[in-house]
Structure 1
Amino acid sequence: VFDELDISKDSLFVKEYEGNYNLDSLVAFHYNLWKQGKVDFVLTSVEAVYVKLNELGVKSMHIIKPQKNISDALDRAIDQGKIRNSKKAQIVVGLVTIEDSSYSLHNAESELHHLPSMKAYQILKEFVKKINASLLQLEENQFILYATRGAIESITNGYSELPIVAEMEKSLEVSVSFGFGFGLTTKEAQENANIALYHSKNSVQGKAYVVTDKKVVIGPLDSQPQQYALRSMDEDILSISKKTGISVSNVSKIVEFLNFHNFNHFSANDLSDYLHLSKRSAERMLKKLLDHHLAQIVGEEQPYQKGRPRSIYKVNF
């Protein structure tokens, strides 16, 4: 409007916020500008701010939201609800493997060899009943289940837990790995389930992972689950990956780690604990970042009296 009327915007002062706001700070923003003579009039979309400014003698006006804006917002909310419901109906393939260290001690034809598998099938049958899913046994030690995204979100409490893993390991005295894959088709979901199962088997701390249709890895489900992307359209992440030779997924993990730590200084131990990697793997990644001037050593710490001190790092991206 100001552009079309050829009015200078130099004397405009805008305070933006995203839903959550502090009433006192908003009032102070406008009041201080008015008191300093920088503005003659205040427009605010927050009614409480308008009331307060009136009490302080500041000329102001409350911007009333047009009916169309309200109806448009409701339409968007309905659309989001439909999208959410359609996502909940999305196909999920779950792969489960059990590894019994005693298999090698038994004859392949013996009943003892089949016992963990039989028990696992019974436990999984009860599990799939709860989520209205179907279950098939692929091999002696591998099972596949078909469910919906909504069911998995519910049974895992929003991807934060999966008690059946501990239940099976305790009951069967075997190692159990779960991998859930989401997809628009069964084939895509099964490919993602295989990736999730790979992460489960290779994780130091967790036995259950999820890979979404967007190639986002979530897990481990029972140990402070994190999220990171296997693919990225972020030019910065792609550039760092290409420059250092660190995979896109690992660069994404490091970025998530930095966000988690508010970009503060950290040690290789901190990084390895967060990424569920060995300390050596974390140190290798950090060395690549150091070699390409994307990280620097800014100090040392020595948590124990004996042993070498640990380097403290700062990442420059």
Structure 2
Amino acid sequence: MPELPEVTALVADLSSRLIGRRIRRLQLVSFAALKTFDPPVSALDGGTVTGVDRHGKYLDVVVAGVAGDELHLVFHLARAGWLRWRSAAPSPIRGSKGPIAARLELEPDAAADPAAPAGRGGDGFDLTEAGTKKSLTIHVVHAPADVERIATLGPDPLDPAFTVDVLAGILRAAGRSQLKGVLRDQRRIAGIGNAYSDEILHVAKLSPFARAAETDAAHLHAAIRQTLHGAITRADGLAASELKAEKKSNLRVHGRFGQACPVCGDTIQQVIYADSTFQYCPTCQTGGRKLSDRVMDRLLK
């Protein structure tokens, strides 16, 4: 799942490609992905992209509509979604069983290609989603806050207003909740998912099962900023096609079960839940103790 650093990089990449361009149409392939109906998708036709923004893990393409109103094409790539840029006119989409959920087509850019034939779509991007469980969501709205999950997002950890005191208040309010879950809860802190919560906790040398209210806010705050800023710096300037490989190659513990911890050399362990898995280093984070993994413990009985 793309998280805050990757979505930030996608914003930069799309801004350089989209701003000032006119939309020909947004073609829906997976109609279940569209979560809004007013304004209709066709309201984007002929509109000009004026900006690209991020709200937590949501991408927001800002469009000046032909009727003079501002529209927002907002999408969340979910666990298995991605954005694939096309530099040429697309071939027709055949059927609805492939990975493409939606396709944004731009009008030919006369400045870039004066010979582009009239009426033919130019470049653009596809929203794709692998697997059978489809969670990618698309919204066409007048304001980002019209998307309920954006309206209820917690503070952005890159915002200067996200201070140690703000984090301390979040941790106090979370009480005895496990720290891993608090970091992933988008209503508490926006943009951090499964991978970067693992990385943050490893940098901070904190157990995923630590109680939120008992955590040193200043220490955790420094780990959050260090981890996210480091990932953003590494992703700076990369195209969408390069971001997945960059993220995977630089993770310290997430997705590295059974490998050696890059800090202490201990074997990285994991805990499996019904719908997710996380990794940690026992020596760095839990005083050498292996955390209870109910799924694996049952298998070994």
Question: Normalised by the size of structure 2, how large is the TM-score?
Answer: 0.25
| Structure number with higher helix proportion | 1
The structure with the larger Rg is 1
Relative contact order, CA 8 A, sep 6+: which one is greater?
A: 2
